[in-house]
Amino acid sequence: MGKVWQLQEAKNRFSEVVESALRSGPQTVTRHGKEAVVVVSAETYKKLTHPRTRLSKFFHNSPLRGVDLDIERSKDTGREVSF
């Protein structure tokens, strides 16, 4: 993890925070002594938020593919409702 910045310092030196995120990786910003946010490059953000494979391909390659699962819903109606 990159440098830790206090919020006021990060506001005053935002360009440097961004440059450090691009060069050195995620930059943590604290508020009242506690971690508040992390500044990351757009490339890092995309890697963290976009799935690497399509969901259909994930299921297709699953080791559980072909396993006979009992997916029938229970006929139990649950608790009795009293009015």
Mean pLDDT of 60-72: 84
The answer as to whether 65 is a domain residue is no
The answer as to whether 66 is a domain residue is no
In the chain, how many domains are there? 1
Q: How confident is the model at residue 72 (pLDDT cuts 50, 70, 90)?
A: confident
Task: Look up residue 55 and give its amino acid.
Answer: L
Structural domain for 21, as ranges: 4-60
Maximum Cα–Cα distance for the chain, whole Å?
65
- Say what the pTM is: 0.62
Q: The domain spanning residue 46 has which CATH number?
A: 3.40.1620.10
Give the pLDDT confidence score for residue 75 in this predicted structure. 79
